[in-house]
Amino acid sequence: MVTLTINGKLVQAEEGEMLLAVIERQNIDIPSTCNHKAVEPYGACRLCTVEITHPKWPGWKKHVTSCLYPVEEGLVVSTHAPEVIELRKTLLDLMLARSPKAKLVQDMAAEYGVTRTSYEEVPDGNDCILCGLCVRVCDQMGFHAISAVGRGHGKEIAPPLDEPPPDCVGCLACAQICPTNFIKYTDAGNKRTIWGKEFELIACERTGQPTITKEFAEYLSKHRDIPEEYFKRNDLTHRRELAATMGKISQWQREEEE
């Protein structure tokens, strides 16, 4: 166990834990867009920057992104130091110039008193804040279907060569993790379209409702040891079957008791 001070309060943390997790456990609200428990920390948005000092080194002060900074014994953390607040304001101001319509950015900025960007709006701006969550979750799933393309201000998230990505299985992890709902997909009947690629959805044998894509089912049965049969029923059917089984079990138990 490690003991550190956060905003004047002594706090315990596990060795190797990142500062942000400990801060969030204290119910201290600091903004962050690129951090998610499903993926490794990345440190792109810099919003979770905090100020750290240490009694052992008087005069030493550093600003670090808490999502990436491992806890240290005796560390003194200030999550709302004036310089840090100033930085967050500037960052949100900059993000607002790029993604003025993204609700997440609007809300976070408003909390820091920024309602309109003080910078020139980016002409080709959109809701993508380049947090990289989609790419990382796709990598984590094992597909590596999309990636960051280009660099600098022209960077964007895209499949290879802007063509329907051959490695995509239509699992929707990217769309679901996207904090600004920028990644769009359509489900129509038994067809799903994402990143310009079309998928056929497996229909539930019982209800006819779509479950997951054929490609995703194949992948899961191959790599995660789940029988392909499993995906021929949707969640509701699975639950019903489970309930029916449970009912049967309790029926037997009752019969045995009698």
Partner 1 sequence: MTIQNLQQLKDLQKKVTTEKKKFHKKVIVCCGTGCLANGAKAILDEFKSVLSKKKIRNFAVEAVTETGCHGFCEQGPLVAIEPEGTFYTKVKPKDVADIIEESIRGDKVIERLLYTNPATTEKTESYRNIPFFSHQQRIALRNVGNIAAHDIKEYIAVGGYQALYKALTKMTPDEIIEEITKSGLRGRGGGGFPAGRKWRTCADVESDVRYVICNADEGDPGAFMDRSIMEGDPHGVLEGMMIAAFAVGAHMGYIYVREEYPLAVRNIKAAIEQCEEFGLMGDDILGTGFSFHIRIARGAGAFVCGESSALMKSVAGEIGEPRAKYVRSVVKGLYDKPTVLNNVETFINVPLIIGKGSKWFAAIGTPKSTGTKVFSLVGKVRNTGLIEVPMGTTVREIIYDIGGGILDDRPFKAVQTGGPSGGCLPESKLDLPVDFDSLTEAGSMMGSGGMIVMDDKTCMVDVAKYFLSFLVDESCGKCVPCREGLYQLHKLVVKVSEGRGEEGDLEKMEKLSKSIVMGSLCGLGTSGPNPLLSTIRYFRDEYLEHIRDKKCRAGVCRELITYRVNEKCTGCLACISACAYHAITGKKKEVHVIDQDKCTKCGACVAVCKQDAIDVF
Residue 38 Cβ vs partner 1, minimum distance, rounded to whole Å = 19
148 forms bridges with which residues in the sheet? 157
**Closest CB to partner 1 among residues 35, 234:** 35
**Closest CB to partner 1 among residues 30, 97:** 97
**Closest CB to partner 1 among residues 21, 68:** 68
**H, E, C per residue of 52-115:** EECCCCCCCEEEEECCCCECCCCCEEECCCHHHHHHHHHHHHHHHHHCCCCHHHHHHHHHCCCC
- Dihedral Cα 139, 142, 143, 144, nearest 10 deg: 30
Binding site for partner 1 (CB under 8 A): 42-47, 49, 63-65, 68-70, 83, 86-87, 90-91, 94-95, 97-98, 118-120, 122, 130, 132, 147-148, 150-155
Q: What is the DSSP string of 206-237?
A: TT--EEEEHHHHHHHHHHS---GGGGGS-HHH
210-213 sheet: strands from edge to edge: 185-188, 191-194, 197-203, 210-213
Residue 98 Cβ vs partner 1, minimum distance, rounded to whole Å = 6
Residue 149 Cβ vs partner 1, minimum distance, rounded to whole Å = 9
**Closest CB to partner 1 among residues 96, 212:** 96
**Closest CB to partner 1 among residues 75, 212:** 75
Whether the Cβ atoms of residue 192 and residue 199 lie closer than 8 Å to each other: yes
The rounded distance, in Å, linking the Cα atoms of 142 and 200 is: 21
The rounded distance, in Å, linking the Cα atoms of 117 and 127 is: 15
**Closest CB to partner 1 among residues 106, 234:** 106
Residue 79 Cβ vs partner 1, minimum distance, rounded to whole Å = 15
Residue 224 Cβ vs partner 1, minimum distance, rounded to whole Å = 25
Residue 194 Cβ vs partner 1, minimum distance, rounded to whole Å = 22
Only one residue has tokens 């200030």, namely 78
